[in-house]
Amino acid sequence: MPDTKAINPLTAGMNITQTPQPCTLVIFGGGGDLTRRKLLPAVYNQALDGELPANFAVLGLAIEEMDDTKYREFARKGIEQFSRQPLNTAFWTGFEKRIHYLQGSFDNPDIYVQLKQRLEDIESQFSIPGNRVFYLAIPPSLIETCVSQLKAAGLVMPVDDNSAFSRIIVEKPIGRDLESARKVNATLCNNFAEQQIYRIDHYLGKETVQNILAMRFGNAIFEPLWNSKYIDHVQITVAEEEGVGTRAGYYDSAGALRDMIQNHILQLLSLIAMEPPWTMDADVIRDHRQNILNCLRPITSENFDQHVVRAQYGPGFHHGEDVPGYRREAGVAQDSVTETYIALKVFIDNWRWAGVPFYIRTGKRLGARDASIVINFRPAPHAIYQSPPGAANRLVINLQPKDGLELHLFSQGANQRAPAGSRSTQTLAPVQLDLDFDKRFGTERVGAYERLLLDVLAGRLNLFVRSDEQECAWRWVEPILDAWKADAQGPRTYAAGSWGPSASSAMIAKDNFCWAEEC
């Protein structure tokens, strides 16, 4: 029987002591998709689990015409459809009274005057001591306006004011390149202190992603092997089955490099490769992640062709059904050169990882949903056995949809014997040790947004990205974007439902490796 009350030993003891504080969560873009699918269900689940403070309220702010009653209806529908836990009607009746709405346009200064008044009313009704969290679930072009208007309206408390806090949460994408990211960060930092800014990368909120650190630094057995002497290469894959869906408006001008590599996947890479931190303090963790980004070998015109493959999905199949190619998706330009797939060969130029290639890839409309990290170890230095061709010792960290660890080893199979008189011809059988976290802990996973919202309320910054960390990632990604601008050929094509273009397999095959599903 799974021990449902067990504390996950992999994430326990992370020196996190603050608890969520009473506050009002103000959601700019309160009528949008992110709010309906993720934010309101996250708030609801945490409230239902008893994790939110009693004096807590939500104020949605958006252009859509709604009042409190209609907004509560909007919230209820979102929760019914997207919540981890079903709607509990008795609980909802009390909880919905804490949800409020203010209609208006973000570029109208009057709305900030009204916002201040509404906040004061809500705070006095629910005995909230003036703590405010502003969640910007809005297009990046509106960030500057919102942030400066909040400040101008006197809604931002100084960071050293102990009577109440103001915190701001910003969604990706922050910028399209280094320069625009710097601009957004400058605006944020001119109006809020860095400790008040929570830049969300929802991958950092996934428990499975946090388990990377817990596995590496909560166990002493991995560290001695975690370097170029024992690891010959690493693969990071985030494959999605879905196509662009209804998000073409954003995605067609972003592409896989901006959408996934610059943030989520470079974060995964940093967690896998970083040096052991001496504490879980936010700035220590963020410095360590950033050190890896600083060591990434630049992609230049000389190494570009050997290190980068970009592609776009053509027509194909998804679960046996015909699906259109990317250029035929609603809202996508028919001559779009946006990449929906990218594979990269990356080196981390430091002592630990010298010479170890990291192959990273992500794409939409691939053969299966799979996010995993495969650590491939070097063979035994002196072979007294034969191992099956292509097999290696591997540690596979499954992030989703499977969630667990696999250790691939070699073993003598039943009744196997080396031929009489031979010294070393016996072939070993590949075997696997499996740890399935869902089976082991038997508990339902708390969603990334739930965890991250609680962290903001508690003032924990570890799982949020600092401005310099983010700019480092852009600095490394930018030459790839520049090279594509100058490349008339555009992306290759792969069939929807496949595992990507053959050029990606060829890139890794040149180094005598194969992607995990091909080996």
Residues that bind ligand BG6 (CB under 6 A): 240, 259
d(CA 76, CA 66): 14
Render 435-489 in DSSP notation, one character per residue.
EEHHHHH--PPPPHHHHHHHHHHHT--TTB--HHHHHHHHHHHHHHHHHHHT-TT
CA distances (Å), origin 242, targets 33, 247, 255, 327: 17, 11, 14, 15
d(CA 427, CA 385): 6
CB of 337 to ligand BG6, least distance (A): 18
Tokens 């490099």 belong to 257
If the CB atoms of residues 99 and 343 are measured against ligand BG6, the closer one turns out to be: 343
Partners of 309 in the β-ladder: 343
Sign of torsion, CA 420 423 231 513? negative
Render 284-311 in DSSP notation, one character per residue.
HHHHHHHHHHHHBPPP-TTTHHHHEEEE
CB of 333 to ligand BG6, least distance (A): 18
Q: What is the amino acid identity at position 516?
A: A
If the CB atoms of residues 298 and 401 are measured against ligand BG6, the closer one turns out to be: 401
Task: Using DSSP, state whether 130 is helix, strand or coil.
Answer: coil
Active site residues: 264
CB of 268 to ligand BG6, least distance (A): 11
d(CA 398, CA 181): 31
CB of 21 to ligand BG6, least distance (A): 27
CB of 144 to ligand BG6, least distance (A): 21
CA 139 from centroid of its chain's CA atoms: 19
If the CB atoms of residues 240 and 455 are measured against ligand BG6, the closer one turns out to be: 240
**Cα first-last separation, the chain:** 35
d(CA 239, CA 372): 9
| Continuous segment of H or E residues that includes residue 429 | strand 429-436
Cβ(470)–Cβ(199) below 8 Å = yes
CB of 448 to ligand BG6, least distance (A): 7
Residue 439 CB burial class (10 angstroms; 0-12, 13-18, ≥19): exposed
If the CB atoms of residues 240 and 478 are measured against ligand BG6, the closer one turns out to be: 240
If the CB atoms of residues 207 and 240 are measured against ligand BG6, the closer one turns out to be: 240
If the CB atoms of residues 207 and 471 are measured against ligand BG6, the closer one turns out to be: 207
CB of 510 to ligand BG6, least distance (A): 29
If the CB atoms of residues 147 and 256 are measured against ligand BG6, the closer one turns out to be: 256
| Continuous segment of H or E residues that includes residue 215 | helix 207-217
CB of 82 to ligand BG6, least distance (A): 13
For 487, residues 6+ apart whose C-beta sits below 8 A from its C-beta are none
| Residue sitting closest to ligand BG6 (CB) | 259
* Residue from 31, 85, 21, 6 nearest 53 by CA: 21
If the CB atoms of residues 123 and 259 are measured against ligand BG6, the closer one turns out to be: 259
Q: Using the 8-state DSSP alphabet, how is residue 398 labeled?
A: E
- How much is the CA Rg of the chain, to the nearest whole Å? 25
